[in-house]
Amino acid sequence: MSVSRYLDRIAISLSAICIVHCLALPLIVAVLPIAALGFGGESHFHAIMLWLVVPVSIFGLIMGYRVHNRAGIVALGIAGMIVISIAAIVGHGQWPVSAEILVSVVGSLLLAGAHWTNFVVVRKVHVHHHC
């Protein structure tokens, strides 16, 4: 299995974690106020996720591009990373929480979609080369 396929899987998982975090954390904080104390601050989570998501995504998308040469997949991934970054850096604490969540989820879906497409296309290319 190529390195790109592993990185795509990791990036899709990270995007899913981001979506779950964005949708579940407000509910947890509203229902269990004590739970908010254990997260080390919302901004720490966003910073950690950006430091994980961006490098893994860039590397995974580049590795996939080297196999399939489809710039549109990379462009979709870059768009997702930009949207996530804007939500985390600009939106955090500045926008209404619902807007920040919406933009973060949209960015995560764009990025996950790019990685899924990257994964599928790389797999097809490798299957055709082995036949």
**Rounded to whole angstroms, how far apart are CA atoms 9 and 119?**
8
String of DSSP letters for 4-22: HHHHHHHHHHHHHHHHHHH
**Rounded to whole angstroms, how far apart are CA atoms 83 and 116?**
18
Asked whether 64 and 48 are in contact (CB, 8 A), the reply is no
Domain range for residue 47?
Answer: 3-130
pTM comes to 0.70
Band of residue 60 on the pLDDT scale cut at 50, 70, 90: confident
* Structural domain total, the chain: 1
Residue 106 pLDDT > 80: yes
What is the arithmetic mean of pLDDT over 52-81?
Answer: 92
Asked whether 1 and 83 are in contact (CB, 8 A), the reply is no
Asked whether 126 and 68 are in contact (CB, 8 A), the reply is no
Express each pLDDT in 24-59 by its tens digit. 656 555 544 444 444 455 566 777 778 888 888 888
Residue 8 pLDDT > 60: yes
Supply the pLDDT for residue 36.
Answer: 45
